Amino acid sequence: MDRAALTSLLAEWGQPAYRARQAIEAQRSGADGWGEVSTLPAALRARLEESLPFWALTPDARVESRDGTVKWGLRGVDGAVVEAVLIAHAEGRRTVCVSSQVGCALGCKFCATGAMGPGRNLTASEIVDQVVLAGREAESQGARLTNVVFMGMGEPMQNLDAVLDACGTINHPEGIGISARRIAISTVGWVPGIATLAEHPLPVRLAISLHAADDATRTSLMPINTRYPIASLLAACRRYCDTTGRRVFIEYLLLDGVNDSTADARRLARLLRDGRFHVNLIEYNATGGAYTGSSYGRREVFMRALAELGLEASVRRSRGADVAAACGQLARSRT
């Protein structure tokens, strides 16, 4: 549940702000309805029961990958379904990949959500519920939820008010208490949203899905590039870096024969080698489209070419692909 929304509802009812903390604590600890929040007075529980769903999203399906990745299909009160994914790392750390929209209007060619077309925005409570659920799952595994990434279904910058409200609850010590530096908002390059994020007081991380180093290739993969071509996108990123003092993470999906040549790597390095960017190379996950992921050898050559021109890059390994839980695979129909 969203802390700010609950706090303001409780304030309207003349209730103290700490009641919101008690409700969120109970939800994080395993309560599944207002009737189970024993720290709240019975009359208040009854009133909340009539006014506000305890869960804005409830699990509809759960699948677990061979690598321990867990994916949920989650249903809103209107029947809309989105997906969230919990990814296991070493040393008991867990990352949740959350959705911000049902479907997506931006139609990136490699993305299963894009193939769904536009849907509705999620509310802040629906976003926070994904994180609460993932935190409960992590604890049941003897681990801790440490990171939140907005890389699930939808373009977070097209629902930025709700995303930032949700980040407030995720970060707040009386909410979920995850450091802002461990929350990442990923965008395909919605330039006005990058400007808004630069001015926002919460120091969350910014990730950009770039996926090509020239406009023709990028436009063929991501129609948004006609509206915000690479030069305007990177200019917005540089303004963000200058305003916040933070680096930007560049996501680059390696597609065989599309964007993975040595010439592509050199172009990318020339675009980004000013110390403001870190590149994550991403393995492609099949979505039934026309693309194939680059081979291991091709990826190594690509990384070496970046390094020769002074650009730091890491490889982000694909997780949960066997249950369609990996990057680019989330979509309602796949749960």
Q: Which residues bind ligand SF4 (CB under 6 A)?
A: 104, 106-108, 111, 113-114, 153-155, 188
Residue of 104, 167, 241, 327 marked catalytic: 327
Per the structure block, which two tokens stand in for 52? 């506000």
Q: Is 251 a catalytic residue?
A: no
| Cα Rg of the chain (Å, integer) | 20
Residue found under tokens 């915000």? 228
Residue of 83, 126, 155, 283 marked catalytic: 83
Smallest separation (angstroms) from ligand SF4 to the CB of 223? 9
> Cβ distance 171 to 202 under 8 Å?
yes
Residue number with CB closer to ligand SF4 (24 or 191): 191
One-letter amino acid at 267 equals: R
Residue number with CB closer to ligand SF4 (111 or 128): 111
β partners of residue 184:
149, 205
Cα(231)–Cα(214) distance, integer angstroms: 10
Taking Cα atoms as reference points, which of 4, 10, 18 lies closest to residue 44?
Answer: 10
Smallest separation (angstroms) from ligand SF4 to the CB of 280? 15
Smallest separation (angstroms) from ligand SF4 to the CB of 281? 16
Q: Is 327 a catalytic residue?
A: yes
Smallest separation (angstroms) from ligand SF4 to the CB of 33? 32
Is 263 buried (19+), middle (13-18) or exposed (0-12) by CB count in 10 A? Answer: exposed
Which residue number has the CB closest to ligand SF4? 114
Residue number with CB closer to ligand SF4 (190 or 277): 190
Smallest separation (angstroms) from ligand SF4 to the CB of 52? 29
Residue number with CB closer to ligand SF4 (99 or 171): 99
Smallest separation (angstroms) from ligand SF4 to the CB of 252? 13
CA atoms within 13 A on the CB side of 11: 7
> Cβ distance 204 to 216 under 8 Å?
no
Tell me the C-alpha to C-alpha distance, in Å, between residue 163 and each of 27, 198, 281: 20, 14, 25
Residue number with CB closer to ligand SF4 (147 or 225): 225
Cα(73)–Cα(331) distance, integer angstroms: 9
Q: What secondary structure letter does DSSP report for 255?
A: B
Local structure of 96: helix, strand or coil: strand
β partners of residue 148:
96, 183
Residue found under tokens 């929304």? 5
Cα(329)–Cα(89) distance, integer angstroms: 20
Report the 10 Å Cβ neighbour count for 229: 16
Residue number with CB closer to ligand SF4 (106 or 133): 106
Give the active site residues.
83, 327
